[in-house]
Chains A and B, each alone.
Chain A
C-alpha cells in the first residue's frame, strides 16, 4: 500500500513552547497541506513544569494509532529528554538537538543535527522566546514533509497578534540555517 506516516516527537521542558510548535506543525499539515495529522502531548503532573513532550503524526492516509512509536524526527531541548527518547528513533531517522542544552550526544543508527537553537533565536531573531519557531523552520527544511508556506500560514494563525513578524522572522532564520546543514 502506498502512503506515508511520519512521526515527530518534540521534547524538552515545560515553557519551551513545544506543545504550540506541535500544534502548528499538525495544523500546517491538516489545514494548509491537505494531509492528515494528529498532535498529542504528555498529560499529567509532569506537564506542570518538569519535562514536556509533544507528538505529531502526519500521514496521507487516516491516522489510526495516534502515538509515536517509531520516530522519524526527534527534537530535544534538554539532555534529559534526549537520553530518554533517543532509543525511539527509527533507523535513518533524525535527531535534532539544541546544543545549548544537549551536550552529550547519544550514538545510534540515526542522523544527528546539532544547532544552538536558543542562541540563534536570541541573537538572530532577537528573543529566546521564539526558539520553538526557529526549531520549526529547521524541522521543515530537514524533513520536507510539510511545505514552508503551510507552516508559515499555520504560524500566522496561531501566534499572538503583534508577534507575527517576529515569529515569521524566526521561522525563516531556522529554515535558512537548516539549508547549510545538508
Chain B
C-alpha cells in the first residue's frame, strides 16, 4: 500500500467535505440562508471564503440566495448555495432561470423530511423528483448523489466541473445522514484532482453572440462586465439573447438546451457496480441508502444468494440504458430509498420489470436487514 501522509487523513462530516471541496473546485462566491441540516456548509464557508479572497453573503431568503449566485456566476465566478427542502422549494424559480440563461452554478440540497417544514432534523431522500422537475418547463439539469464523506468531496468538485462544462445548474443531493456523519476521509492528491473551467469566447465583443448555436451545443461564455454587452433574459430568446416569438428560433433554443445534456450522457452518467456479473438480484441504490445496500448484499453473498448492487452517482440524467442492459440477465430489482418510491419508478421504466420497493419515511435510515429481508424473499 502507498504511504499516506497523516495530514491527508481527516475525520470530517459530509457538510464539511462539501464546503472544502467547493473551495478546491475554485468556488469563491457563496450566498445562502441557513437551514438545518445544511447550515454547517454556510457556517464553514463564512469563515473560509474571506480567507481565500472569496465572498460570503447571508441573504434575506433562498430566493435571493439563488438569484445572487446566478449574478456572481454571470460575472465569471464559480458560485454555490446550500439549503434543505423548504429552501430548495423557494429556489426553484431561479433554478429555472439559470437553466434558461445557461449560467453555471451549484446548489447543495441536504435533504430532510418534507413536504413543507416536515422533519427538520431527520434524513430523507424525497427531493429526488423535485431536483429534476422542481422548476417548470423542459429544462436541462444535472443531479448527483454521493453516499460517503469522500464521495461528497469528489462529487462536489465534479458538480462544479459539470456546471462549468455544460453551463447548467448542478444539484448535489446530500441527506442528513451524510451531511452530519463524521467519517474518515483520505484526501486525493492535488495532481489527481481535475478542475474544469467554462469555455470563454475569444470573439470580438462587437460580433459576439451570447447564445450562438455552435457545434458543441454549448455556447461560449463571456464574463458579464468584461467588455461584452449582451442581454440576459428568462424569456425565450434567440442567439443574441433578446426575446423572440419566432417559432423556428423558439424550437431551436428548447431543443438545443436539452440536447446539450442528452448528447453527452455518456460523459455525464456515472455509477458503480459490485458483484453484478453473476447476480440474479440487483439492488439499485443511491445516497445514504446505498450504504445499507452494500451491507445487505454482503450478507446475501455469505448465504450464497447471488445479489449485486448498481449504485447511481448521477441520478439525473438517469442511467436508463445501463439498467436496460442489466435487465437482460437480471430480473429482480430492489430499490431502497427514503421516500415512497421515486427512483423505483424510473428503474421500472428502464428495466420493464416489477421493482420491489424498500421505503422508509419515518426519519430513519433504511437498515441492511430491511433490504436483506427483501433479498431473501425474492431468492426463494
Contacts and interface: CB of A to CB of B under 8 A. Distances in A.
B362 to A, nearest CB: 14
Contacts of A63: 183
A37 B181 CA distance: 10
Interface string B342-380: 000000000000000000000001011000000000000
Contact of B182 (A23, A32, A44): A23
A38 interface: yes
Contact of B11 (A39, A44, A45): A39
B136 interface: no
Interface string A28-53: 00111000111111011100000000
A6 B215 CA distance: 56
A148 B180 CA distance: 27
A115 B11 CA distance: 30
Nearest first, the 6 A-B pairs at minimum CB distance are A30-B184, A39-B182, A44-B121, A64-B294, A64-B295, A64-B291
Contacts of A36: 184
Interface stretch (A65-73, A119-127, A167-175): A65-73
Among B10, B184, B291, the one with the most A-chain Cβ atoms within 10 Å of its Cβ is B184
Interface of B: 6, 9-11, 37, 121-122, 176-177, 180-184, 288, 291-292, 294-295, 298, 302, 365, 367-368
Nearest to B291: A64
A7 interface: no
A69 B368 CA distance: 10
A27 B368 contact: no
Contacts of B177: 40, 66
Interface string A1-44: 10000000000000000000001001100111000111111011
A64 B180 CA distance: 15
9 contacts: A31-B6, A38-B183, A38-B184, A43-B121, A43-B176, A44-B122, A45-B121, A62-B294, A64-B368
A38 B148 CA distance: 10
A26 B11 contact: yes
Contacts of B298: 1, 64
A130 to B, nearest CB: 21
Contact of B37 (A32, A43, A69): A43
A63 B11 CA distance: 13
B181 A38 contact: yes
Given A31-B6, A31-B11, A66 B367 contact: no
A62 B182 CA distance: 14
Interface string A60-91: 00111111010000000000000000000000
Nearest to A19: B182
Q: How large is the interface on A (under 10, 10 to 19, 20 to 34, 35 or more residues)?
A: 20 to 34
Contacts of B181: 38-40, 66
B184 A37 contact: yes
Contact of B295 (A27, A40, A65): A65
Given A40-B182, A43-B37, A30 B291 contact: no
A26 B291 CA distance: 19
B365 A67 contact: yes
A64 B298 CA distance: 10
Contacts of A67: 365, 367
B367 A65 contact: yes
B11 A66 contact: no
A135 B284 CA distance: 42
A31 B291 contact: no
Nearest to B369: A69
Contacts of B292: 64-65
A69 B366 CA distance: 12
Contacts of A65: 291-292, 294-295, 365, 367-368
Contacts of B182: 23, 26, 38-40
B11 A23 contact: yes
A169 B227 CA distance: 65
A27 B11 contact: yes
Contacts of A41: 180
B368 A37 contact: no
A30 B183 CA distance: 8
Contacts of B291: 64-66
A168 to B, nearest CB: 20
A37 B9 CA distance: 12
Contacts of A31: 6, 9-11, 184
A36 B184 CA distance: 6
B11 A40 contact: no
Given A30-B184, A38-B183, A65-B294, 4 more contacts: A40-B177, A64-B368, A65-B292, A66-B288
A57 to B, nearest CB: 9
B121 A40 contact: no
A157 to B, nearest CB: 10
Contacts of A69: 367
A30 B6 CA distance: 10
